[in-house]
Amino acid sequence: MRWRFGTASDIGGRGEQQDRVEIIASADGDDYLLVVADGMGGYQGGARAAQAVIDTARRFFEMGNVTDPLTSLERLCAESHQAVLAIGDQEGRPPGSTCVFLYVSKDEASWAHVGDSRLYHFRKGTLLTRTLDHSMVQVLVARGEMAEADMANSPLQNQLYMRLGGKQSPRPELGAAEVQEGDLFVLCSDGFWESIGPKEVEGLPSKTDLSAAADRLVHLAKERGGKSGDNIAVAMAQLDKVRRKFRLFS
């Protein structure tokens, strides 16, 4: 089995890109860490916060700190939180960031998230699971007071009760799964999922070029968001079967 990837991002209708997306490979190329971070906190502050998440993840992963995946991802969230707090100490006002991490190794996947950047897991064109946002609208959906389809258009959509860089240390949501051939993971910021529904991702061909698919969906999200649309970022990972090459002998 081998993993295929694709990423894309766009500034949308905003004056600054505060979303970040990264795929980090281990030295031997067997393991990968995917990261999406959506910064918040005004001009430059949000961008610096999101970049701090990326930089922290890169150092963490390249130093070989992943032992037990879920424990390691929880620790990575804590270190990213401290990195964002340090920016607030420098600037005098605390920025913030969401994060969603996906660690893949062979046919196993583990993930962690804080805020309203999401992870989706698809199998055979069907959504298996998605992370639940740490937002007020997600609370209303859980209470049955709002339909999930109305989340993106709610004036409360950007009100998070958990983030990196906040007053309270975040408690990331964790998940893990054994992965089958063809399984697809999508990590994205809210600027993506507000405009692109799971059904549109489910319809992707199983052997599609993930980079091209990510570009196409981000372009569509930008069109739908219009002049006031949010920043957009997405990362995709799919497990494929390695085709063996056979030599013929006469």
Residue 107 to residue 6: CA distance in whole angstroms: 18
Residue 117 to residue 170: CA distance in whole angstroms: 14
Burial pattern 62-78, b for ≥16 Cβ within 10 A else e, equals eeeebeebeebbbbbbb
Phi/psi of residue 202, each to 5°?
A: -60, -30
pTM, two decimals, is: 0.93
pLDDT in tens, 149-174: 999 999 998 899 999 998 899 999 99
Residues in the chain: 250
For the chain, domains (ranges, CATH) are: 2-240 (3.60.40.10)
Strand partners, 127: 122
Residue 75 to residue 66: CA distance in whole angstroms: 10
- pLDDT tens by residue, the chain, 250 residues: 799 999 999 999 999 999 999 999 998 888 999 999 999 987 789 999 999 999 999 999 988 878 899 999 999 999 999 999 999 776 667 799 999 999 999 899 999 999 999 999 999 999 999 999 999 999 999 999 999 999 999 999 889 999 999 889 999 999 999 999 999 999 999 999 999 999 999 988 878 899 999 999 999 999 999 999 999 999 999 999 765 544 444 3
Give Dmax over CA atoms of the chain in angstroms: 75
Establish how many alpha carbons lie within 13 A of residue 83's alpha carbon, considering only the half-sphere containing its beta carbon.
24
